[in-house]
Amino acid sequence: MVDTFEDLGFAKLDMSRSERTGMPETVYCAGKSKEQLAGILKAFQDKNCPVLGTRCSPEQASFVEANGLDVEYDAVSKTVVLTGGKKTELNGRVAVCCGGTADIPVAEEAARTAAFFGAEVERHFDVGVAGIHRLFAKLDSIREADVVIAVAGMEGALAGVVAGLVKTPVIAVPTSVGYGASFNGLAPLLTMLNSCAEGVAVVNIDNGFGAAVLACRILRGLQKHD
Amino acid sequence: MVDTFEDLGFAKLDMSRSERTGMPETVYCAGKSKEQLAGILKAFQDKNCPVLGTRCSPEQASFVEANGLDVEYDAVSKTVVLTGGKKTELNGRVAVCCGGTADIPVAEEAARTAAFFGAEVERHFDVGVAGIHRLFAKLDSIREADVVIAVAGMEGALAGVVAGLVKTPVIAVPTSVGYGASFNGLAPLLTMLNSCAEGVAVVNIDNGFGAAVLACRILRGLQKHD
Amino acid sequence: MVDTFEDLGFAKLDMSRSERTGMPETVYCAGKSKEQLAGILKAFQDKNCPVLGTRCSPEQASFVEANGLDVEYDAVSKTVVLTGGKKTELNGRVAVCCGGTADIPVAEEAARTAAFFGAEVERHFDVGVAGIHRLFAKLDSIREADVVIAVAGMEGALAGVVAGLVKTPVIAVPTSVGYGASFNGLAPLLTMLNSCAEGVAVVNIDNGFGAAVLACRILRGLQKHD
Amino acid sequence: MVDTFEDLGFAKLDMSRSERTGMPETVYCAGKSKEQLAGILKAFQDKNCPVLGTRCSPEQASFVEANGLDVEYDAVSKTVVLTGGKKTELNGRVAVCCGGTADIPVAEEAARTAAFFGAEVERHFDVGVAGIHRLFAKLDSIREADVVIAVAGMEGALAGVVAGLVKTPVIAVPTSVGYGASFNGLAPLLTMLNSCAEGVAVVNIDNGFGAAVLACRILRGLQKHD
Amino acid sequence: MVDTFEDLGFAKLDMSRSERTGMPETVYCAGKSKEQLAGILKAFQDKNCPVLGTRCSPEQASFVEANGLDVEYDAVSKTVVLTGGKKTELNGRVAVCCGGTADIPVAEEAARTAAFFGAEVERHFDVGVAGIHRLFAKLDSIREADVVIAVAGMEGALAGVVAGLVKTPVIAVPTSVGYGASFNGLAPLLTMLNSCAEGVAVVNIDNGFGAAVLACRILRGLQKHD
Amino acid sequence: MVDTFEDLGFAKLDMSRSERTGMPETVYCAGKSKEQLAGILKAFQDKNCPVLGTRCSPEQASFVEANGLDVEYDAVSKTVVLTGGKKTELNGRVAVCCGGTADIPVAEEAARTAAFFGAEVERHFDVGVAGIHRLFAKLDSIREADVVIAVAGMEGALAGVVAGLVKTPVIAVPTSVGYGASFNGLAPLLTMLNSCAEGVAVVNIDNGFGAAVLACRILRGLQKHD
Amino acid sequence: MVDTFEDLGFAKLDMSRSERTGMPETVYCAGKSKEQLAGILKAFQDKNCPVLGTRCSPEQASFVEANGLDVEYDAVSKTVVLTGGKKTELNGRVAVCCGGTADIPVAEEAARTAAFFGAEVERHFDVGVAGIHRLFAKLDSIREADVVIAVAGMEGALAGVVAGLVKTPVIAVPTSVGYGASFNGLAPLLTMLNSCAEGVAVVNIDNGFGAAVLACRILRGLQKHD
Amino acid sequence: MVDTFEDLGFAKLDMSRSERTGMPETVYCAGKSKEQLAGILKAFQDKNCPVLGTRCSPEQASFVEANGLDVEYDAVSKTVVLTGGKKTELNGRVAVCCGGTADIPVAEEAARTAAFFGAEVERHFDVGVAGIHRLFAKLDSIREADVVIAVAGMEGALAGVVAGLVKTPVIAVPTSVGYGASFNGLAPLLTMLNSCAEGVAVVNIDNGFGAAVLACRILRGLQKHD
């Protein structure tokens, strides 16, 4: 394996990452100018590589579309997908659960990322522990997934409660939803890290993308064994 | 009402607090020398006032007993009770729940404080959310209490889950049980403050005593209406 | 009791919470799109359930009104009330005190929430401890309430001082009012958690709503005993 | 599935967790008295359940052994294993890597936990990024594992560097090894949560156990597909 | 003014500080070996300079006495005074107030420092705001002082309440007395910094010494005007 | 002394504070609506009380002026002065020093507050320790003041260096000037609280007003002795 | 050497700093009004001193240019250079590396500052450790520099990895690039401070300027030895 | 260059680091068992490599000596040196300054490390800014050094003041000396990171070793140019 990259001056595109890590390319759009983003996407489109962009602002998306790139934009999750190239398939299912309506943007980022990588995705939104019967109503379905992504802000208790009820890996995503002593997501982050239930690991606050990538790495392992 | 106090030099005993706040006297033993503690208890014994001491070390307790004071000491909760005087009665029940074995000292401090103040107390220990069926097994009983005290360390999710299942006030006590990112109780403190469920309020980390006092103030209100 | 919910896709409305927790429905408006909010309120209006919305922006309120929903909006507390349905009554009084003019939005959120739930509400605004005679002037009235809600930013000392002067439960609400080392409400939050006075519990920063719900749970307990 | 537990008074043993979560029983020994620990282990031995105890002090271990329980104690990882019962087997391999000698206790806790649960375990200790050639020397072997556990204190960069080099899931364990601005493990915790590399999730500081449980949940998924 | 110092190798004694700052010499004993402390005190004794040592452990004090230095040690405040030389006199009074018995060591450090510097000192210990009538009972006396030092741990509200009641400067000393969310004195530190009352300034946690030095600088200013 | 206040509904004006604390009235404008501010100022103007408003936005100032109130507004310090009534005089001098140009708004708030209260004020701006000769050039003048206010952001070392060079009380004001690890003024706040030099006390971040009030309380003490 | 400054009222220009510290003049533009900035630059231009301004907003730059000052502005790094005067030359090379595209503004601030001071500058942008082969591809060139500046946000591992691979001093610049648990740059700051590799020192978050000044001080030392 | 290491099982000794980084070997002793430490030192002694051990406890040192290793131990700095092999020489001088007596252990760690690496070392201890004349008395000598290491706890202002007075690189070492709001060295760490003076970079709290290594990397650069 030879690691290669294409040097755009402001960015070194990691053209061998897909080979090295087994995942299609992705771009973190925040902090890039819209011209930089368009340049990066263009380079991948020229090589017929599908790309997922996350944290893509409506302004960036409009600019990219206006520059003739063939993308689909989802405003809730702020993801943009450059279609084309061969699609990857993963043989497995990811259940994406979230605590409340306000967590949906992060949960949707996770769901769309997992789908882009080829996973079957099942959404269970608004199943927070304050009304725990809503979670129990979906439990049979959640238990059948290969991996569970649990997204929650405020107190963030969802991940621990779920992990105590299923046998699969649980990836916890704290969100910055809340106010006051949530300290922009610190509260659910700490809750999830201190989960008494076994089988939980945590990604950065609002990092639905990272949770989905990990979930898909897990699914790919399954695939080897099919 | 005339506020009075007895001045021991190092402490001004608040002899009218009972009258003013409706609760028997209590002493926070930590940070007091064993001689100071004995002096304070002696002053109350001389007036035939029952007193509850919290955060009382075994050394303090031994010294106090050796000095002829008529006390009962509980090593788990580190509480000491100076018996004698008329006993208060509160017409109501407090359910004290805790997440794990390691939380028992704090839960027991709450339970003994509430009992000292005259409440009926019911203990539900080791009902943490990681094995949520243990909580559900006790739910009917918990729902019948007038106030619930929920004690939990690590992730601290117990209080929010309980508050979503009962109609009564829930007083949450975070504990310093845990390690690493629990940051000595900061994690469950933030969890409890950010509870999505309604009807929860929080006291200081490890403050079983404070939770019980508040519970008893609530019970006393009930009494007026009996 | 059968727990039910109505699934709007983006939200699972907890139609049995009122039954389960004994409180009318409430909606946390922040983080919801104005279309989502209108959809939620519509679902409740169709079932003739009264609803209280908190953290409702003027834009959300205008949109909701423009969509024909029968609501009353208060711009100071950012609360919106969907009238209709049977009104709940609680037989008891809540005293809402606050430290300064800038704390009024939070105090008013508490006051309006308690009133919506059926409590008698009495407001004592601008009674901060820096000019403690203002508090003493209101003390007789405060002492007659069944529950006290103490709202304060900056140093947050009000709750502890009040709790030392009354016999009733005190629910402390730290606010984000202040600057510099108030760290957006961390300072009064810590002050209130460390209160030397007995009988205080604390809710999240700026959470006037949560304080009122807890107060009303306490009042409802009284009702059982009437 | 019927959830059951055995109530020892101070602890409700979750006898159905193995059934529910698919993992043998484990006990967190810290914060339990040695008598409580022995009582818990005895209850499991009586049912012929193998148990893993973590955070077990030498004093606890000695007491337990002196009370006739059939355990093996490892002083480095502070783990104790109650042998007996049927052994679980997981068809897969976990690579446990750590940054420095001082991280070995946590890495060893992870390794022994994974082995107890039936995984094949491979240790790569002292491969920190300050001398990155040591990591590269082991890379082929690490790439062949099904899951990688990366344990590191101080700056905690190991997990991110590894995740950029492998295709498998990476579970990151920050340790409290370090001083000064490591703030007892906060520094590597934040490093790992902010990893630029994809496919990393994080558990609590020093939580080798939790990382191993998650790794084994992943392996068990593989098993279904074998 | 020529600034001079005596170089002991491990310490440069600031022999002109008294001249430069108008205060007699002081030594911060913590972190110095008992031999270093004795050496420093000896150098001052040889020049007939009175010195105050703070944070002096009983072991340091014993060693210093055993080495023939003419000192007085107070175990509560951990202060040691090297007598001899001309005594300074300040024409003014400092009121040292503290919230509870456990704050006395810090309050006493302040009181003894002020007395060493020549101030008239008046102690009002155990006047915390949880029983505010105790403070009011002493108010006339406190109002007559030239400077007030308010020492308090836990919630730290004393300084702000006092400052609202007097016309003099108030120097606030937070203490590390408390537990849990006091975070070793952070809570009262923030409370005092956010005081709504005017005329308060704050020194480091447990820094009774620093408060007294500032108080005496204020008194010395008065002296110029006598 | 009878404490009185005028109740405007949203504010209880503390009409006896001047009598009680010896300072003219002041108003903290931030967080008040412009209508509330105008109402408060009108009430004081009607009683011919001079008032100082701090944190007054240009919008508030314009509104107040447009409503016929007789005020002077300074945009740098965001102070507004309601003239009229008898002017107070304090017989003493305050030196206001600041570290850099960006600290001037806070320093100017201190200077104008002290002047409003009747002090003689002397400004030494841009004397930060990075070019310490600028401070030494002004040292003779600073040493002649009765009180020094030292305002500094970023590293905040100015207060400690000054306190080591003068004999007078030094009031330290940390500012939020800086970026990154200044954490909005936390860095200079901690620096000042940990000052090795004697005679420093600290007020809240950016609280030039509070520093000036304390300085003037000190000056008033001098006056008694004239 | 006589230290001199020019007093503009709001700023004391440190006209001898160049002599004292050996570096040309620089101005921190943030927090200064555009009029103040123009005044400062004018004073230096009148003395024919070249000046570098950092954190210069586009608005400030436009104003300064419109006022006839002879400056060059770079919008990415927000630096402005007042040309003219004799140019300094340093005989040495600085390698400026950064982790990702979003770190370029800070890296460019470092690069332009070093170039202004006379260093030879070599840029290696987008060489983050998540794709470590990009760094290795540049390693030979990086090893030939006299000083390395490593700029990175998010996890900030770049500095430690580089320092383990080169023999030269490494100056680490954490950036505020990231989200969630990066806490505005706290995460990479802690990472860099805890670097296991030897030879790293850290400057403030986003302080590319400070890193470059230190690098140039190092280069100047080399010059003495040429 | 071929990177090699010797694998002791618990540690992979980096035998080529000296070649790669140009510095002799060093060992961080804390967190290693005394047997591990002796094993590591033995391996280096067998290859005739000189080694410096830091954070070496007296117990570790005694054990190592008792096992026949040829080491010199310094109890103040907790450093141990394994002599033998060829000594490195660096042509340059490092000035190690510290603020107070209690900072000497850290300063001495820096001084001994630099000396071990071949630098000429000059100590200026107890030159804190509270008595700034002590620093000025040493300034000519400090200015002649090639690099300055400034060690300070409490407020940590020394580094910034020195950097404003010299032309050489300044490496700042915050120490954990202090109490209360020093938060174990956080205060001086932040002070140093926010230094207004140019040319300062910071290492971890108490990391005298790291400062010295960086200083020696700088000196080695000089050597190339000699």
Mutate to test the interface with E, among B36, B151, B203, B204 (most CBs of E within 10 A): B204
What is the distance between the alpha carbons of residues E108 and E116, in angstroms, rounded to a whole number?
12
Mutate to test the interface with C, among B21, B113, B186 (most CBs of C within 10 A): B21
Q: What angle do CA G28, G31, G34 make, to 5 degrees?
A: 85
A140 and chain D in contact, CB less than 8 A = no
Q: Give Rg (Cα) of chain C.
A: 18
Per-residue model confidence as pLDDT tens digits over C96-124: 999 988 899 999 999 999 999 999 999 99
Per-residue model confidence as pLDDT tens digits over D34-68: 998 999 999 989 988 889 999 999 999 999 999 99
| Distance from the first to the final alpha carbon of chain G | 25
What is the distance between the alpha carbons of residues B170 and B159, in angstroms, rounded to a whole number?
7
Burial label for C46, CB within 10 Å (0-12, 13-18, 19+), is: exposed
Residue B15 CA neighbour count, 13 Å, CB half: 14
Per-residue model confidence as pLDDT tens digits over B44-99: 899 888 899 999 999 999 999 999 999 999 999 999 999 776 677 888 999 999 99
Closest CB to A14: pick one of G104, G131, G181. G131
* Average predicted confidence (pLDDT) for chain A: 89
Q: Please report residues of H whose CB lies closer than 8 A to that of F131.
A: 164
Burial label for A59, CB within 10 Å (0-12, 13-18, 19+), is: exposed
Instruction: Kindly list the domain boundaries of chain E, sorted by start residue.
Output: 5-82, 93-224
Separation in Å, CA of G34 to nearest CA in chain A: 26
Interface contact flag, A30 G181, Cβ < 8 Å: no
Separation in Å, CA of A217 to nearest CA in chain B: 26
Chain C residue whose CA is closest to B199: C214
Q: Please report residues of B whose CB lies closer than 8 A to that of D36.
A: 101
Comparing A2-16, A32-46, F50-64, which segment has the lowest mean pLDDT? A2-16
Burial label for H204, CB within 10 Å (0-12, 13-18, 19+), is: buried
DSSP E18-63: HHHHSS-EEEE-TTS-HHHHHHHHHHHHHTT--EEEES--HHHHHH
Mutate to test the interface with A, among B101, B126, B129 (most CBs of A within 10 A): B129
Answer whether F214's CB lies under 8 Å from F138's CB: no
Question: What one-character DSSP code corresponds to residue A84?
Answer: -
**Closest alpha carbon to A197 in H75, G88, B129:** B129
Chain B residue whose CA is closest to A188: B191
Q: What is the pLDDT of residue E5?
A: 53
What is the distance between the alpha carbons of residues G43 and B181, in angstroms, rounded to a whole number?
53
Q: How far is CA E91 from the centre of its chain?
A: 17
**Closest alpha carbon to E214 in E81, E119, E106:** E119
Q: Please report residues of H whose CB lies closer than 8 A to that of E55.
A: 179
What is the distance between the alpha carbons of residues H214 and H216, in angstroms, rounded to a whole number?
5
Is residue G90 scored above 50 in pLDDT? yes
Answer whether H180's CB lies under 8 Å from H117's CB: no
* Average predicted confidence (pLDDT) for chain C: 89
Q: Please report residues of D whose CB lies closer than 8 A to that of A218.
A: 169, 218, 221
Q: What is the pLDDT of residue G7?
A: 66
What is the distance between the alpha carbons of residues H110 and H149, in angstroms, rounded to a whole number?
8
Chain E residue whose CA is closest to B186: E181
Amino acid at E144: E
Chain A residue whose CA is closest to C37: A101
Is residue G2 scored above 50 in pLDDT? no
Interface contact flag, A30 G179, Cβ < 8 Å: yes
**Confidence grade of residue B216 (pLDDT, cut at 50, 70, 90):** very high
| Distance from the first to the final alpha carbon of chain A | 25
Q: Please report residues of F whose CB lies closer than 8 A to that of C134.
A: 3, 5, 12, 14
Q: How far is CA A163 from the centre of its chain?
A: 19
Interface contact flag, H156 F194, Cβ < 8 Å: yes
Q: What is the pLDDT of residue D131?
A: 80
Mutate to test the interface with G, among H204, H209, H220, H226 (most CBs of G within 10 A): H204
Separation in Å, CA of C44 to nearest CA in chain F: 34
Q: Give Rg (Cα) of chain B.
A: 18
Closest CB to B101: pick one of D3, D17, D32. D32
Interface of A with D in 13-42 (CB under 8 A): 20-23, 26
The pTM (predicted TM-score) of the whole model is 0.93
Is residue D3 scored above 70 in pLDDT? no
Cα–Cα distances in angstroms (integers) from residue E29 to residues E38, E52, F199, in the given order: 10, 10, 18
F45: which 2 tokens? 């103007």
Q: What is the pLDDT of residue F3?
A: 47
Average pLDDT over residues D151-164: 94
Residue A27 CA neighbour count, 13 Å, CB half: 35
Separation in Å, CA of A133 to nearest CA in chain C: 6
Chains H and C touch (3+ CB pairs under 8 A): no
Contacts of B199 (CB under 8 A, 6+ apart): B163, B166, B167, B168, B169, B170, C21, C23, C210, C213, C214, C217
Q: What is the pLDDT of residue H2?
A: 42
What is the distance between the alpha carbons of residues F19 and F47, in angstroms, rounded to a whole number?
14
Interface contact flag, G146 H23, Cβ < 8 Å: no
Amino acid at E112: R
Q: What is the pLDDT of residue F54?
A: 96
ipTM for the whole complex: 0.91
**Confidence grade of residue E1 (pLDDT, cut at 50, 70, 90):** very low
Q: How far is CA D202 from the centre of its chain?
A: 13
Separation in Å, CA of F68 to nearest CA in chain C: 23
Per-residue model confidence as pLDDT tens digits over E147-185: 999 999 999 999 999 999 999 999 999 999 999 999 999
Interface contact flag, H171 G226, Cβ < 8 Å: no
What is the distance between the alpha carbons of residues B57 and B79, in angstroms, rounded to a whole number?
9
Mutate to test the interface with D, among A88, A140, A167 (most CBs of D within 10 A): A167
Answer whether C103's CB lies under 8 Å from C152's CB: yes
Amino acid at A89: E
Residue F113 DSSP SS3: helix
More confident residue, D48 or E94: E94
Q: Which helix (H) or strand (E) holds G69?
A: none
E179 and chain B in contact, CB less than 8 A = yes
Q: Give Rg (Cα) of chain H.
A: 18
- Inter-chain Cβ pairs, chain A and chain D, closer than 8 A: 113
* HEC profile of A25-71: EEEECCCCCHHHHHHHHHHHHHCCCCEEEECCCHHHHHHHHHCCCCE
Number of H helices and number of E strands within chain H?
Answer: 9, 11
Answer whether H208's CB lies under 8 Å from G201's CB: no
Per-residue model confidence as pLDDT tens digits over G15-56: 666 665 667 888 999 988 899 899 999 998 998 888 999 999
Interface contact flag, E187 C188, Cβ < 8 Å: no
Interface contact flag, A12 G180, Cβ < 8 Å: no
Per-residue model confidence as pLDDT tens digits over C180-197: 999 999 999 999 999 988
Answer whether D180's CB lies under 8 Å from A171's CB: no
Residue E73 CA neighbour count, 13 Å, CB half: 17
Answer whether F50's CB lies under 8 Å from F83's CB: yes
Q: What is the pLDDT of residue B24?
A: 82
Chains F and E touch (3+ CB pairs under 8 A): yes
Q: Please report residues of B whose CB lies closer than 8 A to that of C221.
A: 146-147, 168-169, 218, 221-222
Q: Please report residues of G whose CB lies closer than 8 A to that of D188.
A: 191, 194
Residue C193 DSSP SS3: helix
Interface contact flag, C5 A133, Cβ < 8 Å: yes
Separation in Å, CA of E163 to nearest CA in chain F: 8
Q: Using the CB atoms, write b or e for B141-160: b if 16+ within 10 Å.
A: ebeebbbbbbbbbbbbbbbb
H93-224 is classed CATH 1.10.10.10: no
Chains B and G touch (3+ CB pairs under 8 A): no
Interface of H with G in 75-134 (CB under 8 A): none
Q: Please report residues of D whose CB lies closer than 8 A to that of H3.
A: 131, 133-134
Mutate to test the interface with H, among E3, E12, E106 (most CBs of H within 10 A): E12
Q: What is the pLDDT of residue C1?
A: 35
Residue G201 CA neighbour count, 13 Å, CB half: 38
H neighbour chains, 3+ CB pairs within 8 Å: D, E, F, G
F140: which 2 tokens? 């003779």
- Inter-chain Cβ pairs, chain C and chain E, closer than 8 A: 110
Is residue E22 scored above 90 in pLDDT? no
Closest CB to C14: pick one of A125, A131, A180. A131
Per-residue model confidence as pLDDT tens digits over E115-134: 999 999 999 998 888 888 88
**Closest alpha carbon to H165 in H188, H140, H146, H190:** H140
Q: What is the pLDDT of residue G13?
A: 65
H204 and chain G in contact, CB less than 8 A = yes
**Confidence grade of residue E48 (pLDDT, cut at 50, 70, 90):** confident
B6 forms beta bridges with B13
Contacts of C16 (CB under 8 A, 6+ apart): A133, C1, C2, C3, C4, C5
Is residue G112 scored above 90 in pLDDT? yes
What is the distance between the alpha carbons of residues C110 and C77, in angstroms, rounded to a whole number?
8
Residue C110 DSSP SS3: helix
What is the distance between the alpha carbons of residues D21 and A197, in angstroms, rounded to a whole number?
10
Answer whether C5's CB lies under 8 Å from C14's CB: yes
Per-residue model confidence as pLDDT tens digits over A118-164: 999 999 998 888 888 889 999 999 999 999 999 999 999 999 999 99
Interface contact flag, C131 F3, Cβ < 8 Å: yes
Closest CB to A218: pick one of D22, D221, D226. D221
C135 and chain E in contact, CB less than 8 A = no
Interface contact flag, D130 G197, Cβ < 8 Å: yes
Q: Please report residues of A whose CB lies closer than 8 A to that of B186.
A: 190
